[in-house]
Amino acid sequence: MTSMTVGRVANAPVASALEGDLVTSADLRDSILRHLTYDLGKEPEMAEIHDWRIALSLALRERIVDHWFASMRTARHSGAKRVYYLSMEFLIGRLLEDSMVNLGLEEAADRALTDLGLNLQDILADEPDAALGNGGLGRLAACFMESLATVGCPAFGYGIRYEHGLFKQRFVQGRQVEEPEDWLQQRPAWEFERSDIAFKLCFGGEVSEDGGKAVWHPEEAVVAKAYDTPIISWQGRWANTLRLWSARPLHGFDLERFNRGEFAAAAEPEALARTISRVLYPDDTTEQGKELRLKQEFFFTAASLRDILRRFEAEHDNLRLLPQKAAIQLNDTHPAIAGPEMVRLLHDERGMELDEAIVTARACLSYTNHTLMPEALERWPEHLMHRLLPRHMQLIERIDAAHAVKQPTRQVSALEHGEVKMGELAFMMAHKVNGVSALHTELMKSTVFAELHRLHPDRIVNQTNGVTPRRWVLSANRRLSALITDTIGEGWVDDLEQLEQLEPYFGDAGFLDRYAAAKRENKADLSNWLATEMDLKVDPTALFDVQIKRIHEYKRQHMNLLETIALWKEIAANPDAGWTPRVKIFAGKAAPGYVFAKEIVHLINEVAAVINADPVTAPYLKVAFLPNYNVTLAERLIPAADLSEQISTAGKEASGTGNMKFALNGALTVGTLDGANVEIRERVGEENFFLFGMTADEVIARREVPGHAAQAIEADARLAGALADIGEGRFSPDDPGRYHGVTGNLSHHDYFLVCSDFTAYWEAQRRIDAAFADQNAWMRMAAINTARSGWFSSDRAIRGYMADIWNAEALEVPGPGDVLH
């Protein structure tokens, strides 16, 4: 599907031509030098790599600003609806390459830097990876920001400007050690500090009544201050804003106390206030700091709503128009306090009738659910909510009570066992609620939100996730991109379903050879990197089997590891059986408080050490666990993968987005019928996908079978052997009982059905061995995966939200000539 806007723009000159004579490499070189000298205060001879990197970023940022202003002006003048994406996390990664590629200035930058005696790749590699997110949810928000700009939808992303993003992971004797991340250590190159955009936000205190009106008397206040990063579209046609809030004290420094010599005390209010935006929560498993997390949620949500209302009120004077002008998407329940806060702003502060305020807020708000796992659904103790946000607690009760009227049996409530259930609250205050894959959405309807769905059968809709092709194909996989563009032209970059046009070329001499060559070279690059960075030698022609994602029991890295151990034993017992050489690649972080996940990390490292030291199996099997998984590492690994591990217990992975990145880059999936795997398989064809394992329904039935794990172990000698090796300390001779927790859990409890799915998984892997041995057939399947995965673009996902949830339209992007006026 090609919209009007995209059709028109697809014919427009590419951005480098669009910039035309405006930006030559000489211009760019001059502005790099100007920024280096006058912004950074460095002489070229004294400048270090990060100085050059920042100077280049500022030179590019400068070229974004005019597009950015033009886009904002167009949005303002058109009176169009704006989309507001509220997310506790934006896992943006590096921005320099993205911006440069989208501006079409890569060649100019390369030449400018060469003139200056520098290397572009070294400079790109110097940029810190902004990890303001944990995993899929945060990365989805980042892909959505880029796609919102690319489709020309006027939008703001709102989040928190954490001082410290997701922790850095190191391995010390195989164990995960967390270290603080410090992305702001060097001057941030992309953001604009907005001292003038700041809101006072309050906590605590009590509520009194004054002539029937509720009056909140808070006891604590902080200031939220804005930092803006422009997000530029493909070909620089449109730019939106990512606005992140940083917490500051209401009253600055206490000079009196300082002068009395109370130096630490004088700085205390500042430190306390700043705590709110200090760190990204790495999980929700720790008890401590729950209060701080609730404060973070309210902090960024309330600041964003004030900003949205301020913008609306500057342009319109009738609050009833708000739903026509603002669509506010809640990325998970973290900003779900937006419901009551919006009601408070409309009713308490602006005098709208309460019922109308609720209806108006709901018409603006919509909510995306990312998990069905009960332990991951947010609940806040009522007493905490009451203490921190007393007026909101009252409004939550009102919202809940209004809901109860509809169903006298009171089967659904946002209040249960002294807790506020944020999923229910978000649902009640949203006009649309969406799941992130077809299966997940159906499960939402039949499980966690069954009652609410019965009451509001039109509210739940599906929007299957997507990923931005600019980052995940064009930039990450240069060789494949060049082949695609040579074959079908450049249109695929913002109309990814054009990849289908590749398929007729598969019969041509040459296409599949070039496709295979791109994969081979990507694998050679990764092999060299593993040799230098990890001191690990691998066969670059082996099957590269990759599982990269957060470490979690439901994602079943331990099932992959059990299969690895079983395979190793089988190769060792019969080394001449014609094995398909494999490199098992793992990467991922465990939440610091998640003990089981940390044991899995340790175990993978210990198994890798033993297997990699075995000379008999070395030609056929190597195991690599790469530390500190992040966006940048994903960009390096995905283009080099042959096999994508998507092996979660069916019904548990809401969608997955890595699965889409791998398929686009020509890795075949070994996967369960879970999340978006189902839709990937439908599109690429069942013959080009390695399916195994129980379905979501079978999983539920299997759990009811007494002793299911023991039965499965009994029936599979390979599984029994691998578990026995772990249990007897074969990989942990210094502490043979180290993994009794893991083996005990798997043998007795096995909630995620690792044992019950093991045999099917093993068999799928052996089918894969056989398929990989026929390289021509394999490469054809890989190319089919690329050609048929275009639907998984986040441009498609965003257009889906615009049509089905936001009722928002893309704007006519200013033409090349208009942009700079």
Q: Per rule CB under 6 A, is residue 444 in the interface with ligand F58?
A: no
Q: Per rule CB under 6 A, is residue 269 in the interface with ligand F58?
A: no
With a CB cutoff of 8 Å and minimum separation 6, the contacts of 601 are 171, 174, 175, 176, 551, 588, 590, 625
Is-catalytic flag, 661? yes
CA 686 from chain centre, in angstroms, equals 27
Q: Per rule CB under 6 A, is residue 794 in the interface with ligand F58?
A: no
| Side chain identity, residue 320 | R
Do the beta carbons of residue 210 and residue 237 sit within 8 Å?
no
Which one of the listed residues 391, 432, 598, 661 is annotated catalytic?
661
**What tokens appear for 14 in the block?**
């590419």
We find the least distance from the C-beta atom of residue 470 to ligand F58, in angstroms, to be 19
Residues 710-739 that bind ligand F58 (CB under 6 A): none
Is-catalytic flag, 35? no
CA angle 316-320-326, nearest 5°? 65
Q: Per rule CB under 6 A, is residue 137 in the interface with ligand F58?
A: yes
Which one of the listed residues 5, 487, 632, 657 is annotated catalytic?
657
Do the beta carbons of residue 679 and residue 661 sit within 8 Å?
no
Quote the CA–CA distance of 24 and 137 in Å, as a whole number.
39
β partners of residue 208: 215
Nearer to ligand F58, 307 or 378 (CB): 378
Nearer to ligand F58, 617 or 655 (CB): 655
Binder of ligand F58 out of 63, 82, 362, 370 (CB under 6 A): 370
x/- string (CB under 6 A) for ligand F58, residues 557-596?
A: ----------------------------------------
x/- string (CB under 6 A) for ligand F58, residues 193-232?
A: ----------------------------------------
Nearer to ligand F58, 140 or 713 (CB): 140
**What tokens appear for 74 in the block?**
């167009």
Q: Per rule CB under 6 A, is residue 656 in the interface with ligand F58?
A: yes
Do the beta carbons of residue 795 and residue 496 sit within 8 Å?
yes
- Continuous segment of H or E residues that includes residue 169: strand 168-172
Q: Per rule CB under 6 A, is residue 666 in the interface with ligand F58?
A: no
CA 332 from chain centre, in angstroms, equals 12
Q: Give the three-class secondary structure for 249.
A: strand
The string of DSSP codes covering 574-635 is -TTS-PPPEEEEEE----TT-HHHHHHHHHHHHHHHHHHT-TTTTTTEEEEEESS--HHHHH
Q: Per rule CB under 6 A, is residue 675 in the interface with ligand F58?
A: yes
We find the least distance from the C-beta atom of residue 654 to ligand F58, in angstroms, to be 4
- Continuous segment of H or E residues that includes residue 779: helix 775-788
Binder of ligand F58 out of 176, 628, 655, 665 (CB under 6 A): 655
Q: Per rule CB under 6 A, is residue 344 in the interface with ligand F58?
A: no
Q: Per rule CB under 6 A, is residue 423 in the interface with ligand F58?
A: no
Is-catalytic flag, 550? yes
Q: Which residue's C-beta sits nearest to ligand F58?
A: 136
Binder of ligand F58 out of 5, 31, 134, 793 (CB under 6 A): 134
Binder of ligand F58 out of 66, 178, 283, 500 (CB under 6 A): 283
Nearer to ligand F58, 171 or 554 (CB): 554
Quote the CA–CA distance of 783 and 515 in Å, as a whole number.
7
Length of the chain in terms of residues written: 821
Nearest to 683 by CA among 660, 667, 661, 651: 660
* Span near ligand F58 by CB under 6 A; candidates 16-24, 263-271, 368-376, 531-539: 368-376
Quote the CA–CA distance of 92 and 146 in Å, as a whole number.
10
**What tokens appear for 490 in the block?**
């450049």
Q: Per rule CB under 6 A, is residue 140 in the interface with ligand F58?
A: yes
β partners of residue 379: 421
We find the least distance from the C-beta atom of residue 764 to ligand F58, in angstroms, to be 21
Q: Per rule CB under 6 A, is residue 284 in the interface with ligand F58?
A: yes
* Span near ligand F58 by CB under 6 A; candidates 97-105, 134-142, 467-475, 637-645: 134-142
Alpha helices in 41-84 (DSSP H): 49-78
Q: Per rule CB under 6 A, is residue 390 in the interface with ligand F58?
A: no
We find the least distance from the C-beta atom of residue 690 to ligand F58, in angstroms, to be 20
Find where tokens 């990849």 sit.
499
CA 112 from chain centre, in angstroms, equals 33
We find the least distance from the C-beta atom of residue 567 to ligand F58, in angstroms, to be 27
Nearest to 679 by CA among 368, 366, 442: 442
Find where tokens 């599906």 sit.
462
Nearer to ligand F58, 189 or 279 (CB): 279
Per rule CB under 6 A, count of chain residues that contact ligand F58:
18
* Span near ligand F58 by CB under 6 A; candidates 131-139, 418-426, 559-567, 609-617: 131-139
Binder of ligand F58 out of 436, 452, 712, 764 (CB under 6 A): 436
Is-catalytic flag, 549? yes
Nearer to ligand F58, 481 or 649 (CB): 649
Q: Per rule CB under 6 A, is residue 645 in the interface with ligand F58?
A: no
Is-catalytic flag, 213? no
Q: Per rule CB under 6 A, is residue 136 in the interface with ligand F58?
A: yes
We find the least distance from the C-beta atom of residue 659 to ligand F58, in angstroms, to be 8
Nearer to ligand F58, 102 or 648 (CB): 648
* Span near ligand F58 by CB under 6 A; candidates 35-43, 221-229, 580-588, 647-655: 647-655
Q: What is the 3-state secondary structure (H, E, C) of 181-207?
A: CCCCCCCCCCCEEEEEEEEEEEECCEE
We find the least distance from the C-beta atom of residue 662 to ligand F58, in angstroms, to be 13
- Continuous segment of H or E residues that includes residue 668: strand 668-671
With a CB cutoff of 8 Å and minimum separation 6, the contacts of 85 are 141, 144, 145, 148, 155, 156, 157, 158, 329, 331
Nearer to ligand F58, 19 or 653 (CB): 653
Would you state the torsion angle of the CA atoms of residues 791, 795, 799, 805, taken in this order, to the nearest 10 degrees? 100
We find the least distance from the C-beta atom of residue 376 to ligand F58, in angstroms, to be 6
Residues recognised as catalytic: 370, 549-550, 555, 657, 661
- List contacts with ligand F58 (CB under 6 A): 134-137, 140, 283-284, 370-371, 376, 436, 465, 653-657, 675
